[in-house]
Each structure stands twice: as C-alpha cells, then as structure tokens.
Amino acid sequence: MRSLHSRAVRAGITALGTIGLTMGAAVSAGAAPANGGTEHQSFPAAGAVFECAAPTGDITALTGTVKMVDHWNVDGQGVFHETGTVNTSGVTLQGSNGDLYTVSGASWFGGKVDGTGTPLVFTDTEHWVLHDITSGGNVKVQIVSHWSSGSGFTWDKGSCSAPEG
C-alpha cells in the first residue's frame, strides 16, 4: 500500500508544480492572475474501490457521493498555495465477501510551489473507517505522507488504501 500512496503523493507534487508554473507564466506574461479561489465538487462514489489486505479483500462503493473542496491562492511573493478536503455522504459499500459497509472519515491535502513551479512542500492525510454493518468490525485507511525539498515520509497504519483518482 505504501508504494501506491507514494506514487499518489509524487503525482500531487508534480500537479502542484505544474499549476504553480502556469500561474508564474501568467504573471510573467502580464496577465492578471486570480489571487485565489475555491472550488466545490461532488461526484458519485459508485465504483470507487478501497484496496484492502486479506482477509477482508477489496471493498467497492455502491452508492453515495464524494465531496471535495479545493482552495488556492497566490501570495505576495508569487508562491502558489493549495489545500483541499474530501469527504463522503450516504456511501454504502460492499466487500468481496458480500458484507455491506458504511464509511466515515476524510482526506486532507495541501502544499505550495514557488513562482517557477518548484514544489516546496506537500502533505496528504487519509483517515477512513469502513464499518462492516453485516457482521461487525472495522477496517481503516490511516496514511500520512509528507514531502519537502530533499526529504519525505509516509506513515501507513491502515489495512486498506483509499481509492485513487
């Protein structure tokens, strides 16, 4: 699970760098960039898969909604900052053994890049509890990943990985 999540963190750092570089180019070209903004999104959860270790196996969302809030701004030095949260509403899931689950928890991410698009820092936290409503018990996603120039770590204490994408 660590390697999957580490790739996600690297992808986040790359995306953050690309966005920052785009903002830097807009400033250099004389375009007046937006100082910041907030975007609210929601989409169906159906089909999202929590990859879980044995004996649970994968757990797939059947119904419900995923909600995301993304906020960004550019400070006076041209540094691009972004932060976002992800949560769910009314999600029902089914395990590979047929058990039904509900989910609680959230994800948070944030980072910043300088005006040239160079990533400065990025952190991603995932904490989801999948509650087995058929036979009882819980499985968890508990991951914190952090990257800053020259160093990084991933702390993974869960038995599942959050859906990618």
Please say if the pLDDT value at position 131 is more than 80: yes
- pLDDT > 70 in the chain, percent: 79
Query: pTM of the prediction?
Result: 0.77
Question: CA angle, 73 as apex, 13 and 115 as ends, to 5°?
Answer: 60
For the segment 48-68, the average pLDDT, to the nearest whole number, is 94
Give me the DSSP letters along 105-124: EEEEEEEEE-TTS-EEEEEE
Please say if the pLDDT value at position 4 is more than 60: no
Q: What pLDDT is attached to residue 54?
A: 82
Please say if the pLDDT value at position 129 is more than 50: yes
Q: What pLDDT is attached to residue 23?
A: 47
Residue 118 or residue 67, greater confidence:
67
